[in-house]
Amino acid sequence: MLTVIAIVGAIILMVATIKYPAISLVFLLTAGTLKGLLITGGYRFAGFLDPVVLGGVWVALAMMYNYMRTGGRLKDILSIPVFLYLLLAAFLLFGLMYTSAPNYGFQKSLRFATIVLVMFLGPIVLAPSLKDLRLIIWILFVMGIIYAIFTIIAPNVAGFSVAELGRGRFLRVGPLGTAAMMAMGAIIAFCFAIAPHTPRTLKTVSVVLMPLMLIGIILTGSRGPFFGLWLCVLIALIVYRKHVPKVWSVVIVTATIVATFLIFVKLPYEKTVRIGGVVKDKYEIEKVASVRTEMFSWVWKNAGSRPILGHGTGAYAVDRNGVDIGDWPHNIILELLYEQGLVGVLLISLFLLVIFRRWRQASKLTYLCEPHMHMEASQIVHIAGLLFLFNLLQAMKSFDIAGNRLTFFSAGLVLAVFNCIRHATEEVYVEGDLITNGWQQSEGGGFQDAEVLY
C-alpha cells in the first residue's frame, strides 16, 4: 500500500514540476527512497535502477525547461563560485591520468562533474525568486519531518535496522543520510521558531516538531549530524541575536535542552549509546577520535611526496588499502590534499570562502534594504547559510567529495539567495525607494555610478 502511495506521489510531483520546476529537486534529494519502496513492494526491476542518476537527469531537464521558460540570464549562473567548481571538476578528471585507482577515480570524478554539478546548479537555476527559494526550504522541512516519522514509528517499512547495529534509517538512504536530512529539517524548524517574522502557528509547530527530528537523529546513531545540529543552533542564536527577544531565546534554548535530555533518558540505552557514549565515556571518545586521526595522520605523512598535483583522483583507496574500490580519508580537505595536492586544496578553499562571503553579503544587503525587502528575506538568507555550514561540517568527517553532494547543493542554495537579494536590492535602488551613500546625486540632478555593495 505504501509503495502504491509513493508511486502516485512521485507521479504527482513529476506533474507539479511543470509549474514549479524546483519540485524536481525532491527526486535527487531523496535518491534511493522510491527505489527502496519499490523493492519493499516486491518490484525486483527496481534493483537495476540508479536513483541518483535518474534524479539527476530529471533535475537537469527541469533546469533546462525553467531556464527557457523564464528567459534566464547567463550571468546569474556563471559566477566565481561556479567557475571554481568547474575548474575543480576538470582537475578531478585530469587526475585520472596519473591515479593508481582508475575505476574508483573515474566513478568519483564523473559523478562530481555531472550529478553533483546538477545538485550545485539546481537551486541557482530553479530558484530565481524568493518564492522559489521558500518552496525549496519548505521541501527540505517537510522531508525532515517525513524522515523522522518513518524512522521512529515505521521501523519495518523504513528498514530500521542496519545489519546488527540496530541503527535507524529511512528506506535505503542510510543512517548518515537519514540523520542529515532530519538535522536540516531541525535547523529550519529552529530558525522558524526564533525568527521575528514567523507566524505564531508556525512557531508553535516548529517547537513541537524539533524534538521529533531529534529523536530520529538519535535513533540513527549518527554522531556527526547530531553535534553539527547543535553547533548550527548556537550560531543561529548569534545570527538572530539582534532580532529575537532575549527572553524568547532563553525559552527556546531551555526547551530544546530539556527535550534532548528527556529523549536520552526515555529512549533505551542501546539506542542512545552511540551518541551518549561519546559524551559520557572517555574510552568511547578516544576510540572515535582514533578512527579519524589515523586516516588524517596517514594523509598528512604521505601527501608530501606529491605536494602540487597530488597522487590522482581516488588514489587514497589503492595507496592505503591496495584495492580499487571506494575509500576516502573522511575529510574533504585532506582528500583533495592527497589526491589533487595543493592545487585542489586551493580551489576548494577559495570556493568555500566565496560561499561564506556570499552569505555575509546577502545578509548585509538584506539589512540595508530591510524596510523595503520582503519580511522573509532575512530568514531565507540565514537558513541557506546555516544549511551550508551544517553540510560542510559533515564533509569534514564523512564521505568523499562526490558523496558530499548536499554540501554543494546548499552552496548553490546560498548563491541562489544571494542572486535574489542582489536583484531585489538593484530594483530598490533603481526605483529610487532607497538612497544611500552608494548613490551620489550629481550637480545636474542625475546620478553618478553607484558604488557596488555586493
pLDDT given for residue 372 in this prediction: 54
Does 162 share its domain with 28?
Answer: no
Does 198 share its domain with 302?
Answer: yes
Does 405 share its domain with 287?
Answer: yes
Residue 452 domain-assigned (yes or no): no
Q: What pTM, to 2 d.p., does this model score?
A: 0.88
Q: Which residues form the domain of 243? A: 75-430
Residue 127 domain-assigned (yes or no): yes
**Which residues does 390 contact at the CB level (< 8 Å), separation at least 6?**
180, 183, 184, 187, 225, 228, 229, 232, 410
Residue 171 domain-assigned (yes or no): yes
Cβ neighbours around 307 below 10 Å, total: 12
Does 131 share its domain with 36?
Answer: no
pLDDT given for residue 41 in this prediction: 63
pLDDT given for residue 45 in this prediction: 61
Residue 49 domain-assigned (yes or no): yes
Does 86 share its domain with 51?
Answer: no
Among residues 71, 102, 121, the one where a domain terminates is 71
Decide: 116 and 29 in contact? Cβ < 8 Å. Answer: no
pLDDT given for residue 299 in this prediction: 93
How far is the C-alpha of 104 from the C-alpha of 86, rounded, in Å?
20
Burial class (CB in 10 A: 0-12, 13-18, 19+), 266: exposed
Residue 448 domain-assigned (yes or no): no
Using the structure block, give the residue that is written with the C-alpha cell 535602488.
Answer: 429
pLDDT given for residue 125 in this prediction: 92
Q: Cα dist. 372→191, 376, 424 in Å? A: 22, 12, 9
DSSP letters for 410-438: HHHHHHHHHHHHHHHHHHHHHTTS---TT
pLDDT beneath 50: ranges in the chain: 156-164, 433-454
Decide: 271 and 219 in contact? Cβ < 8 Å. Answer: yes
Q: How many domains does the chain have?
A: 2
Residue 454 domain-assigned (yes or no): no
Residue 339 domain-assigned (yes or no): yes
Residue 451 domain-assigned (yes or no): no
